[in-house]
Amino acid sequence: MKSVKRLLIIIPVVFCFYLTASGKDKKHSNYYNDQVRPHNQRSVLQLKVDPIPVVRVGFIGLGMRGTPAVNRYTFIEGVEIKALCDLNQQYIDRAQQKITDKNLPKADEYVGEEAWKRLCERPDIDLIYICTDWQMHVPMAVYAMEQGKHVAVEVPAALTVKECWDLVNTAERTQRHCMMLENCCYDFFELTTLNMAQQGVFGEVVHVEGAYIHDLRELNFNEFGDRGYYNQWRLKYNEKHTGNPYPTHGLGPVCQVLNIHRGDKMNFLVSVSSGQFGMTEYAKQRFGANSPEAQKKYARGDMNTTIIRTEKGKTIMIQHDVTSPRPYSRLHAISGTKGFAQKYPVKQIALEPDAHKFLNQVKMDSIMKKYEHPFIQEIGDKARKVGGHGGMDFIMDYRLIYCLRNGLPLDQDVYDAAEWSCIVELSEQSVLKGGVPVKIPDFTRGDWNKLPGLKFAK
Ligand SMILES: NC(=O)c1ccc[n+]([C@@H]2O[C@H](COP(=O)([O-])OP(=O)(O)OC[C@H]3O[C@@H](n4cnc5c(N)ncnc54)[C@H](O)[C@@H]3O)[C@@H](O)[C@H]2O)c1
């Protein structure tokens, strides 16, 4: 009798445990697979919302990136900067000054760890512009969309595949825009070569390359200040993670060339990292061989190389290295059946029938003029004056506001944000398993072939 009683207790407990565990596993593995769209969600491909004649903006995160963004917005027509938020009052003051210097109305101020929530809850804001460290991007973006706001979020938009789905699901549920601020898509050479690719100048584009190679060792180790990240957030991420934590600058422009989720999709990647040498070497020189910085184990290998294959048989190579002493490079390369373009170290183009050598400068200048992208013709001069990485940041902001004011689909949608950001976790998975192939989810849930190529709305 006693053993029967015991069984009556044990069996339901084991069953409940099984259900919970298997449910968890299922949920977890689903993130890496294509998902079925829940009934209360609709695709946001080509999402249009009512025109917003004056876009009221709230900025969260006013560090090295956020404050210049506020400054750029003071040059855009049809914008009201309503609110500024940071942990640090001095940073808010600095950003506020960019506004008041131009005799524009002062923005309301929000200081503190959770103050961003109050900013997002305000009914008189249309767009939340997020420039905090990586960890806060998704919690803030999701909360903002749930409050009915459109979102612009810095790169990478998300750090894990689950976070990517959170952005997609929230945008689909709330029917709000969520654009990742991938400014490199608006760089002048990238825009012009995109135009050339769209007009068939390179023939069928077969292979593309991008990179983020930028010596950030000093910045990474600096304390919070004008020349350092808040609470050394970037260094801390490097300590724990390998793979490519910052893939989108290289990936965004070349995914646009390949029409990713507008006729093609990324299927899988393989990723390999070198060992870690540069951080330790730098820390030894700067802090001493016995310093805690030099003794730490940094998980991220110096150079990461990731190769992606698409459904249509195209390949993409993306690199990341922020710890080697070498010149800045985003290695933008496009290789097609009729020609080739590359930037870094120098801008060069080679075209059939003479593609075994690069065009001379005269021909290069004339082709760059011939295919100059309409965005550059429209706003290039002002962008160069306002600045932000030579003007590309301003073109990005200008386009975002233009599309919102005219009720047009944005140039980059939430699926771009998810596709380009998911490489953070998936490259790490591949590296940790010795470079094995890792599937890339289809965040559009089967809609990747519905649009006939990338078209910017006008
Ligand atoms: N697109 C680009 O070219 C580019 C260039 C640099 C940085 N970035 C991105 O911009 C983002 C910010 O980078 P950064 O260099 O400005 O870093 P940063 O450390 O200088 O700034 C981050 C700011 O966020 C604030 N912050 C953190 N938690 C907050 C909270 N809970 N509420 C309000 N404010 C909070 C910090 O106080 C800090 O001022 C990152 O995502 C980074 O990847 C993009």
Q: How far apart are CA 93 and CA 110, in angstroms?
A: 11
* Comparison of pLDDT for 35 and 51, the residue scoring more: 51
pLDDT at 226: 61
**Whether the Cβ atoms of residue 305 and residue 291 lie closer than 8 Å to each other:** no
Evaluate if residue 25 carries a pLDDT over 60: no
Evaluate if residue 14 carries a pLDDT over 50: no
Q: How far apart are CA 207 and CA 335, in angstroms?
A: 5
Q: How many C-beta atoms surround the C-beta of residue 5 within 10 A?
A: 9
Centre of ligand 1 from the C-alpha of residue 116, in Å: 14
pLDDT at 34: 75
Nearest ligand 1 atom to the CA of 182 is 1
pLDDT at 228: 87
Evaluate if residue 18 carries a pLDDT over 70: no
pLDDT at 10: 55
pLDDT at 31: 76
Q: How far apart are CA 59 and CA 110, in angstroms?
A: 10
Nearest C-alpha neighbor of 271 from the set 427, 395, 150: 427
Centre of ligand 1 from the C-alpha of residue 230, in Å: 7
Centre of ligand 1 from the C-alpha of residue 98, in Å: 18
- The structural domains of the chain, ordered by start, are 55-183 (3.40.50.720), 184-373+413-439 (3.30.360.10)
Q: Which of 1-15, 247-261, 417-431 has the lowest mean pLDDT?
A: 1-15
Nearest ligand 1 atom to the CA of 224 is 19
Task: Look at ligand 1, atom 6, and give the residue with the nearest C-alpha.
Answer: 65
Evaluate if residue 384 carries a pLDDT over 70: yes
Q: How far apart are CA 191 and CA 301, in angstroms?
A: 31
pLDDT at 35: 80
Residue 92 to residues 96, 152, 230, 436, 449: CA-CA distances in angstroms? Answer: 6, 19, 14, 46, 44
Q: Which of 12-16, 73-77, 96-100, 201-205 has the lowest mean pLDDT?
A: 12-16
pLDDT band at 223 (very low <50, low <70, confident <90, very high): confident
pLDDT in tens, 107-158: 999 999 999 999 999 999 999 999 999 999 999 999 999 999 999 999 999 9
Evaluate if residue 9 carries a pLDDT over 70: no
Mean pLDDT of 374-378: 97
Most ligand 1 atoms within 8 A of CB, residue of 230, 232, 237, 424 to mutate: 230
Mean pLDDT of 197-207: 98
Mean pLDDT of 441-457: 97
How much of the chain exceeds pLDDT 90, in percent?
90
Evaluate if residue 94 carries a pLDDT over 80: yes
Evaluate if residue 305 carries a pLDDT over 50: yes
Centre of ligand 1 from the C-alpha of residue 352, in Å: 44
* Comparison of pLDDT for 42 and 2, the residue scoring more: 42
φ, ψ for residue 342, nearest 5 deg? -150, 150
Task: Look at ligand 1, atom 40, and give the residue with the nearest C-alpha.
Answer: 133
Q: Rounded mean pLDDT of the chain?
A: 93
Residues contacting residue 288 through CB under 8 Å, at least 6 positions apart: 294
pLDDT band at 7 (very low <50, low <70, confident <90, very high): low
Task: Tell me if the pTM is above 0.85.
Answer: yes
Q: How far apart are CA 67 and CA 240, in angstroms?
A: 28
What size, in residues, is the chain?
Answer: 458
pLDDT at 26: 43
pLDDT at 3: 57
Q: How far apart are CA 84 and CA 97, in angstroms?
A: 11
Q: How far apart are CA 133 and CA 231, in angstroms?
A: 10
